[in-house]
Amino acid sequence: MTPLDPPRRLSANRTRRQIIAGASVTASVLLIGRQAAGTAAVNQPTYATGVAAQREAALPATAPTLYLVDAPECKWCVWWDNKYLADFEQSEARARLRFVQLHAPRIPDSLLDIAWPEADRWARDAARDHRLHGTPLFVLVREHRFITGGNNARFGWPDEYWPTIRREVGL
């Protein structure tokens, strides 16, 4: 063995570690980039389309807006969709208000900027002022004024939010 052998081994070990570390960083960057790209697509708000969009366009500026924030892993969001969404969409009350469905990447992200378009963050701030969070998050507003909100799909929707929506649209 020559005196140069140990440094070469050390150098080779360091090189292996650098390659492994570099590969880990590269994989992490690719994964984060992929998640960010997927998150961006998932988090786009769902606005009315078709006939509903035409009805909303004809509404006066003073018509109320209902924001609903959901998240992919939210079982109560799925439950509300299955139990109430179709009836809500067909209701007379729905025809008299704007409805914006927002998609948070995770339940705790319901009040983060990623879930709310910049123009609608005043409604998010009103929800935060009323200590609301989580999903499904219902926020009913009119003319930049908070009316009601909460995240209890099971009892809040039929007992509080839905009656308030009906009252606010004149039914």
Nearby residues of 134 by Cβ (< 8 Å), 6 or more positions away: 107, 108, 110, 151
**pLDDT at residue 45 above 80?**
no
Q: What is the pLDDT of residues 63-105, one digit of tens each?
A: 999 999 999 999 999 999 999 999 999 999 999 999 999 999 9
Phi and psi at 142, nearest 5°, equal -150, 130
Return the pLDDT at 26: 40
Return the pLDDT at 9: 54
Beta carbons of 135 and 104 less than 8 angstroms apart: yes
**pLDDT at residue 23 above 60?**
no
Paired residues of 142 in beta bridges: 145
Q: Which of 151, 147, 144 is nearest to 164 (CA)?
A: 147
User: Does residue 152 sit in helix, strand or coil?
Assistant: coil
Q: What is the pLDDT of residues 131-157, one digit of tens each?
A: 999 999 999 999 999 999 999 888 899
How much is the mean pLDDT over the chain?
82
Q: How far is CA 3 from CA 6, 8, 14, 37, 165, in A?
A: 7, 10, 18, 52, 83
Q: Considering only the top CATH level, what class is 50-168?
A: alpha beta
**Which tops the pLDDT comparison, 42 or 57?**
57
**pLDDT at residue 12 above 90?**
no
User: Does residue 99 sit in helix, strand or coil?
Assistant: strand
